[in-house]
Copies of this chain bind each other. A is one copy, B any other.
Amino acid sequence: MSVTTKATIASFGGKLLKLSHAAKSTKCEMNFNLYLPPQAATQKVPVLIYLSGLTCTADNCSEKGFFQHGASKKGIAVLYPDTSPRGLEVPGENDAWDFGTGAGFYVNATKAPYDNGYNMYSYVTEELPQTVFAAFSQLDSSRVSITGHSMGGHGALTLFLRNPGKYKSVSAFAPISNPINCPWGQKAFSGYLGDDQQKWKEHDATELIKQWKGPLDVLIDVGTGDNFYKQGQLLPENLEKAAKEAGVEGVKVRYQPDYDHSYFTMATFSDDHVEHAAKYLLQ
């Protein structure tokens, strides 16, 4: 459970820590970043988990997402996990940018050879938080929210919907909202989970929301200039439609004119997503 500190960087009055640990669930050393806001020096602070998209590491959003700006004002820590195991040398894991390394899709792989370490679901929901809370006593393990971008938006929505009560709130940027019906999701789920599409549905936000009971308050931003949205990889309308048909209220998708799939979009709206999380983390 020990954590190695690789760098400590002053940011918005707090500290961005570049960390790593030997992870059992993913069978490799995993890098991650943790932003400690200034308030963490004197009190326990809640945690917002940010799940990154395809090809990204913990660093991209730490550098370009601007979450530290809002988190430093609200007194919320931000935990940035990596997007897959790295260096396992699973055959084919480096052959594509949208599968394997950098593309763990926040599931536990059940299909060989990826079942040997591609367990980002267990890693993000259990091992990483347990490791972080054991190492950083200034974090309040009872107050955790989750957000993410693209593949990480899929991760945030599915982890939230699969674990009622585990996270205080959820939001997403350009989430892959219905992976069983888009090329990215179909490729990932067939490769990690095999051909049984019933298993795929257990990791599809549009399918999961049909089973949701109780209140919901999901903030989603999607840019109308996002090429992956235009290509049908994100399908937020399917999530909205499924929620409506299931009588689940509180799925708010904001279609932001002209915004693209990049971190420029995240930087623009990250304050809103921190604010959304703060409503529930700081009650």
B10 touches A268 (CB 8 A): yes
Give the most central of A16, A258, A262, A264: most B CB within 10 Å: A264
A63 touches B64 (CB 8 A): yes
Q: Does A257 contact B (CB under 8 A)?
A: yes
Q: Copy number of this protein in the oligomer?
A: 2
B265 touches A69 (CB 8 A): no
Residues on B with C-beta less than 8 A from A64 are: 63-64
A260 touches B66 (CB 8 A): no
Residues on B with C-beta less than 8 A from A12 are: 267-268
Residues on B with C-beta less than 8 A from A256 are: 10
Q: Does A225 contact B (CB under 8 A)?
A: yes
Interface residues of A in 207-238 (CB under 8 A from B): 223, 225
Q: Does A11 contact B (CB under 8 A)?
A: yes
A12-B267, A225-B10 known; A66+B63 contact, CB < 8 A: no
Interface residues of A in 1-25 (CB under 8 A from B): 9-13, 15-16
Select from chain B the residue with minimum beta-carbon distance to A268. Answer: B12
Q: A55 CB to closest chain B CB, in angstroms?
A: 16
Residues on B with C-beta less than 8 A from A9 are: 260, 262, 264
Select from chain B the residue with minimum beta-carbon distance to A223. Answer: B10
Q: Does A280 contact B (CB under 8 A)?
A: no
A264 touches B69 (CB 8 A): no
CA distance A11 to B10 in the complex (A): 25
Give chain A's interface residues, CB within 8 Å of chain B: 9-13, 15-16, 63-64, 66, 68-69, 223, 225, 256-260, 262-265, 267-268
A/B interface sample: 15 pairs, CB < 8 A: A10-B223, A10-B225, A10-B256, A10-B257, A10-B264, A10-B268, A11-B268, A12-B267, A15-B258, A16-B264, A63-B263, A63-B264, A66-B66, A69-B69, A69-B267
List 4 tightest A-B contacts by C-beta distance, closest first. A10-B258, A10-B259, A11-B264, A12-B268
